[in-house]
């Protein structure tokens, strides 16, 4: 059982959800890093249960989907035959966002393959109240996954962006420029003027800023996939229920009608 006072636990979790590393939080709070990790996993797992229970019958008209890369243990190109390829290497977090309420009703951490794309779409469909317009990038697995899960009960368009190629390494540490964008109708009759992945791509930036293990060019990467999953659950619970969105002046969960009240970090710690 964790012996830390509630206010200290809240300080630790607040540091983590604002993008501080575990060792930074250790220096700021005086709490040992092993205790911080155990607390993060406990609260993160509870947040995962919270999201599973509350993200249901979501009233959304449009959903944008994308995936964001990270890795566990070591990058994919460094894996050896002796490594557990299912538990290490490149991992992706599939993310769905409602561009109106900014709510994230579904996400999934796993490999970038058809089984995970299908499981993600199945989970997303389970949480939606009505027929939606869906926008994704050009990942081929999405087409089969959407057809399997939604059938014809969706308006689906793919948005494929072409980026400016780097010249002699220029722009390596800055995002490439979009030079063209192609929108393709896949299922139903989506409004191509509304087909977009821009907001979910902006959510990817939020994830990289607020989860240290997603920050590039650091040694803060996840060492275990269970820790990664707990951190992602903690992030999205904080994002949906605690963090006030500037354009909404409320949390995404309030904008979507999931809750009527502002939550605090202490509420997540108490789960």
pLDDT confidence of residue 180 = 84
pLDDT for the residue 162? 85
Amino acid 3: pLDDT: 82
What is the chain's pLDDT, residue by residue, as a tens digit (271 residues)? 458 999 999 999 999 999 999 999 999 999 999 999 999 999 999 999 999 999 999 999 999 999 999 999 999 999 999 999 999 999 999 999 999 999 999 999 999 999 999 999 999 999 999 999 999 999 999 999 999 999 999 999 999 988 776 555 555 666 678 888 899 999 999 999 999 999 999 999 999 999 999 988 888 999 999 999 999 999 999 999 999 999 999 999 999 999 999 999 999 999 9
Closest by Cα among 127, 118, 110, 134 to 200: 134
For the chain, which domains are there? Answer: 6-269 (3.30.420.10)
For residue 230, give Cα distances in angstroms to 42, 77, 226: 8, 25, 6
The pLDDT of residue 1: 45
Buried b (16+ CB within 10 A) or exposed e, 145-172: bbbebbeeebbbbbbeeeeeeeeeeeee
Cβ atoms within 10 A of the Cβ of 77, count?
Answer: 8
> Does residue 221 contact residue 70 with C-beta atoms inside 8 Å?
yes
Cβ pair 207, 66 in contact under 8 A: no
């Amino acid at each position: 059982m964790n012996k830390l006072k509630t206010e200290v636990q809240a300080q630790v979790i607040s540091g983590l959800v604002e993008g501080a590393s575990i060792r930074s939080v250790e220096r700021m709070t005086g709490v040992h890093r092993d205790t911080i990790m155990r607390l993060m996993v406990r609260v993160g797992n509870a947040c995962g249960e919270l999201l599973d229970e509350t993200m249901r019958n979501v009233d959304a008209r449009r959903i944008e989907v994308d995936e964001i890369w990270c890795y566990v243990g070591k990058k994919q190109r460094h894996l050896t035959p002796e490594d557990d390829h299912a538990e290490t290497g490149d991992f992706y977090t599939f993310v769905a966002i409602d561009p109106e309420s900014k709510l994230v009703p579904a996400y999934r951490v796993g490999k970038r393959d058809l089984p995970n794309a299908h499981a993600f779409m199945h989970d997303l469909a389970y949480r939606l109240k009505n027929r939606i317009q869906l926008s994704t990038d050009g990942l081929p697995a999405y087409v089969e996954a959407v057809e399997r899960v939604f059938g014809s009960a969706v308006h689906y368009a793919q948005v494929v962006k072409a980026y400016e190629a780097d010249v002699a390494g220029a722009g390596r540490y800055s995002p490439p420029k979009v030079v063209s964008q192609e929108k393709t109708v896949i299922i139903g009759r989506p409004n191509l003027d509304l087909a977009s992945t821009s907001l979910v791509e902006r959510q990817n930036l939020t994830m990289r800023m607020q989860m240290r293990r997603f920050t590039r060019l650091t040694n803060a990467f996840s060492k275990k996939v269970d820790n990664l999953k707990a951190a992602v659950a903690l992030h999205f619970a904080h994002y949906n229920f605690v963090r006030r969105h500037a354009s909404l002046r409320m949390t995404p969960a309030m904008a979507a009608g999931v809750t009527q009240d502002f939550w605090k970090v202490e509420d997540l710690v108490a789960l």
